[in-house]
Homo-oligomer: A and B are copies of this chain.
Amino acid sequence: MGKNLLIAQSGGPSSAINAALSGILMEAAKSPEIDKVYGGIHGIYGVISHQIADLTNQIRTAEEFKLLETTPGMALGSCRFKLPPLEKDTKVYEKLVEIFHSYNIGYFLYMGGSNSMDTVWKLSRYLKDKNEDIRVLGVPKSVDNDLSGTDHTPGFGSAAKFIATSMEEIIRDSEAYPINSVTIVEVMGKESGWLTAASILPHHFGENAPHLVYLPEVPFSMGQFINDVQEAMKKERAVVVAVSEGLKFSDGSYVAQSREDENGYTSVGQVLERALVSTIGGKIRSIVLNVLQRCSGHLLSAADVIESRRIGTFAVRNVLNGETGKVLVFNRVSNSPYLINVETVPVEQVLSAGVKGFPLEWISPENNDLTQEALNYLLPLINGEVEYSCKAGMPVHFRFDLTPCQPPKTEP
């Protein structure tokens, strides 16, 4: 008799995480070693409170798998929950083992970003220490692309494609009027500039815009920014600027917070817009791309979806092959032709390396543009379009039946 597989999702939503889930479910259905497939509802937080749904055979047709792959958000629900340090408190670990036993879980795949990989690390270590034959692998996901140990993360390519496409469309919009203007586009990425970097992709397609780009890896200077914009305006009628939401001044304070008052949050775009209005004047506007970047299921990168599905299938094969305490990663073998290997690395290796920032050597000496290497890295990740099902003009989304189920009855 086989064991059961538990899957859960955690961290910020992304539009490719369900494609990885699709790959897991496809491979699990083909694997005789796996009896049932369970889904933890709202991540490890749900697992702890017995919020576990039976996913076995919920998806049967190719059409349903495709629907799941083009559904944004987290099909199993997410959480932001960190397990306590093993040295301090083992109660929650004991409870998890008890639940794993009651559902006869032999394999646990946890999908998410660095917090989820922290869970993979702690839990796999605890299970090994207790000699439990329950294997845990991490399936990474991050629109931010700031996880170490992997060439890129599932979800980044689709977010990058949305940003690049939106940027190109905003460029078209900005050109309309015969007047000087500045359009500031604020892109996600509190800790790293990968997503903001994606906004330069229109350069590869003959656009001069965006004319300036600022990443959080470099301290931001308001004086230099205003000067850069003034210089750009000498050459261009409609100047377009891409900025990261995570921009910081040299003292480490966020630009977005610098004008915050009792009224609450002010975006980077608004701070820069106000700075330009009070110095340069004229038509200045700021646009925040916001969560659409991570949930635009109607504009997915085919490369991202295919790779996400693939990392899901590999996760099942690797956990069945005996691996535990590891993370699935992409290794870029070559850029042209674009070749990716799916591999595993020990989870502690990913965690100890910390946030993977955008390479400083891919930022121009003026700190307001990126190099050809950056374009070469980004281009394969947005390649290809994904068809999605529509009904009466709207995308169709997939929904699991997430009714919590009882543990299976143990045989007498």
Interface residues of A, Cβ cutoff 8 Å to B: 12-13, 15, 42, 45-46, 71-74, 77-80, 161, 164-166, 168-170, 172-173, 175-178, 201-202, 204-205, 259, 261, 263-266, 270, 273-274, 277, 287-292, 294-299, 301, 303, 379, 382-385, 390-397
Copies in the complex: 2
A176 and B301 alpha carbons, distance in the complex (Å): 22
CB neighbours of A202 from chain B (8 A): 394
CB neighbours of A392 from chain B (8 A): 204-205, 379, 382-383
Say yes or no: A13-B291 contact (C-beta < 8 A), given A42-B178, A263-B259, A394-B202.
no
Q: Are B45 and A178 in contact (CB under 8 A)?
A: yes
Q: Are A178 and B264 in contact (CB under 8 A)?
A: no
Q: Are B383 and A176 in contact (CB under 8 A)?
A: no
**Minimum C-beta distance from A372 to chain B (A):** 15
A393 and B202 alpha carbons, distance in the complex (Å): 11
Q: Are A270 and B265 in contact (CB under 8 A)?
A: yes
**Minimum C-beta distance from A323 to chain B (A):** 28
Q: Are A173 and B287 in contact (CB under 8 A)?
A: no
CB neighbours of A391 from chain B (8 A): 205
**Minimum C-beta distance from A305 to chain B (A):** 12
CB neighbours of A292 from chain B (8 A): 166, 169-170, 287, 289, 292
Say yes or no: A298-B176 contact (C-beta < 8 A), given A383-B392, A393-B379, A394-B201.
no
A379 and B394 alpha carbons, distance in the complex (Å): 10
CB neighbours of A15 from chain B (8 A): 169
